[in-house]
Amino acid sequence: MKKQTVDVLTSRLAVQPGALEDKAVVVIDTLRATTVMVTALSYGAKKIIPVAEVEEAFSLRAQDPSLLLGGERHALFIPGFDFGNSPLEYTKVRVKDKTLIMSTSNGTRTLLSAAAGAQVFLGALRNGTAAMARALDTGRDVVLFNAGTDGALSLDDFITAGAMIAGAQGSIQLTDAARLARMLYEAHPDLRSALQGTLHYERMRALNLEADLEFCLQKDQSSLVPAFWGGEILPLR
């Protein structure tokens, strides 16, 4: 039997035509969009609709005032939104049975780009083992699609991909990018130390988001794996 191939893409700008076709895609934006989405759905949010632009989020809420808006631009709160992009904001009392509209600098744009995949899931460190298992269970080749930062590689997403690969069960074939991600993770098990000095990590520290960093860098706290289908993100358990 042919081994499933696992590849890693470092940002949406790294996608070549056909790269996602017939693949199981896991979108990773550890700091912080996919962590937020896993958290919100874990606390009972009904679904999440990702949009690329802030104006689109406001337009959707104008049609349905019950919708809640969440997201950021350059890690900062968007005026008029209900939530920022901190997973700590998305508590059960605020999100249970609600539909969220989300727009972020990198994560939601990457999700929309991933729609070309046959099946699309969301992964982060907090659900990494479950997300990888779900993707492999499809029987398809797997692409770990990093959101990156501003179109460039982001080490937090890349090392998350490495952690997911390192925890994978069964026999898989790794591309060079996937092998490098796994090697990086295995060489740096202390993730906080590994990420110090990196662009996105230090940007968040400068904004006093230490509590978010602590939360986002915890491994395998959830078995919930969100799936993106038909423009909506829904929880799979």
Whether the ω angle into residue 192 lies within 30 degrees of 0, i.e. cis, is no
Confidence class for position 104, pLDDT limits 50, 70, 90: very high
Residue 186 has pLDDT above 80, yes or no: yes
pLDDT at 54: 98
Percentage, residues of the chain above pLDDT 70 = 100
Residue 1 has pLDDT above 80, yes or no: no
Residue 38 has pLDDT above 80, yes or no: yes
Strand, helix or coil for residue 143: strand
Please compute, for residue 33, the number of CA atoms within 13 A of its CA located in the half-sphere on the CB side.
35
pLDDT, tens only, 190-210: 999 999 999 999 999 999 999
Position 162, amino acid: G
> Domains, the chain, ranges and CATH?
4-227 (3.90.1560.10)
pLDDT at 169: 87
Label residue 176 exposed, middle or buried (CB < 10 Å: 0-12, 13-18, 19+). exposed
User: What pTM, to 2 d.p., does this model score?
Assistant: 0.97
Q: Which residues contact 90 (CB under 8 A, 6 or more apart)?
A: 36, 39, 40, 43, 45, 70, 83
Confidence class for position 170, pLDDT limits 50, 70, 90: confident
